[in-house]
Amino acid sequence: MSMSDPIADLLTRIRNANQALKPYADVPASHLKGEVLRVLRETRYIDGYDLLDDKKQGVLRVYLKYTPERERVITGLRRVSRPGLRKYVKTKQVPRVLGGLGVAVISTPRGIMTDEECRRENVGGEVICYVW
């Protein structure tokens, strides 16, 4: 079965596992999902991820991060640009999430970047999601 929005599926699986306080979430692998997870790992919203071989397309195992008191590090995820309505921003319009407390994941001609990196590199692109 084909999926119309695999990034929304990735975010939903992470959101559901996070709400249930699971240690990890398994997601069908793709290059774009791997890049989004790389950005989340670099911004320390997740502990990491591994590519598991399942003799098909592979599975990305996303290790979720919690505080020592078992509080969630990710309190919210929101898909911004979707297949039915793409959201592009210019360099000067790159959004700030919660006044800089969150991160916007943006697909640029230079690859997947955070909002902060986009402002530093002076590039715009498609806003994939917000994480806070």
Type and span of the H or E element at 36: helix 31-42
Q: What is the pLDDT of residue 3?
A: 77
**All residues at 6 or more sequence positions from 117 whose CB lies less than 8 Å from its CB, including other chains:** none
pLDDT tens digits for range 42-56: 999 999 999 999 999
In a domain, 55, yes or no: yes
106 SS3 class? strand
Q: What is the pLDDT of residue 66?
A: 97
Judge if 51 and 81 occupy the same domain.
no
For residues 91-106, average pLDDT: 96
pLDDT tens digits for range 53-65: 999 999 999 999 9
In a domain, 59, yes or no: yes
What is the domain-level CATH number for residue 42?
3.30.1370.30
pLDDT tens digits for range 5-25: 999 999 999 999 999 999 999
Judge if 91 and 55 occupy the same domain.
no
**Has residue 26 got a pLDDT over 70?**
yes
**Has residue 1 got a pLDDT over 90?**
no
What distance in Å separates the CA atoms of residue 126 and residue 105, rounded to the nearest whole number? 9
Judge if 52 and 10 occupy the same domain.
yes
How many structural domains comprise the chain? 2
Nearest to 26 by CA among 67, 5, 66, 54: 54
In a domain, 94, yes or no: yes
What distance in Å separates the CA atoms of residue 81 and residue 102, rounded to the nearest whole number? 17
Last residue of a domain, one of 39, 64, 89: 64
Judge if 15 and 44 occupy the same domain.
yes
What distance in Å separates the CA atoms of residue 124 and residue 88, rounded to the nearest whole number? 8
Distance from chain centroid for Cα 94 = 16
Domain that holds residue 15: 6-64
What is the domain-level CATH number for residue 113?
3.30.1490.10
Residues above pLDDT 90, as percent of the chain: 97
pLDDT tens digits for range 70-81: 999 999 999 999
Enter the pTM of the model.
0.93
